[in-house]
Amino acid sequence: MLKLMIIDDEPFVRKALCQAIDWKKEDCLVAADCRNGREALDQMETVRPDIVITDVRMPFMNGVELAKELCRNWPETLVIMISGYEEFEYAKAAVNYGVFAYLLKPLDTEELLETLRRAGKRVADRKRLNSMQVTDRRIYEEVLRGTFQYDKYEKEHELLQK
């Protein structure tokens, strides 16, 4: 089950994100919801979410600053950024800090779910890969590019073992 952290300074948006989707059906658990990036950072060590869904514009610490801290201290956590603003600077900063996706408000539930499914697959692939000994440099390059597919690797690995 994937652990999520939802961060938005608007209580109604935060509640809607927590309750509008059947997270259990998606094999997800909303482990924490926070009002801003600073509150989220305070909870990171105890919650250890797989995926963070964060607004961009918030008081005290915005989503871009949060993404920077997560990239530095919890690089395994994927970040999905949501924003009501189509400003290029936010998107550019998000890319610089390895944000997995940048979605615009109003959110399309299906787009959010599809993004979460892709993020969940990446999390699962990373966890499985971490449990194996990898010596092939190509695998690391694919992980960095975001093109790594665990299922494909597992099949190749099985064939080589025979």
What 3 state SS string does 61-78 have?
A: CCHHHHHHHHHHHCCCCE
Phi, psi of 138 (to 5 degrees): -60, -35
pLDDT of residue 134: 63
- CB atoms under 10 Å from CB of 64, counted, come to 23
pLDDT at 129: 74
- pLDDT band of residue 162 (cuts 50, 70, 90) is low
pLDDT at position 29, please?
Answer: 95
What's the whole-number mean pLDDT along residues 62-68?
A: 91
Query: Is 90 exceeded by the pLDDT of residue 39?
Result: yes
Instruction: With both helix axes pointing from N to C terminus, report the angle between 88-96 and 63-73 in degrees, rounded to the nearest 10.
Output: 10
Handedness of CA 80, 33, 69, 74 (dihedral sign): negative
76 vs 19, 104, 120, 132, 144, CA distance in Å? 26, 24, 12, 16, 12
Span 82-137, pLDDT tens digits: 988 777 777 777 788 789 999 988 889 999 999 999 999 889 888 877 766 666 67
Helix (H) or strand (E) holding 33: strand 28-34
* Mean pLDDT (whole number) for 10-30: 92
Q: What is the pLDDT of residue 79?
A: 96
- In this structure, are residues 90 and 54 in contact, taking their beta carbons and an 8 Å threshold? no
Residue 34: name the closest of 16, 50, 10 by CA: 10
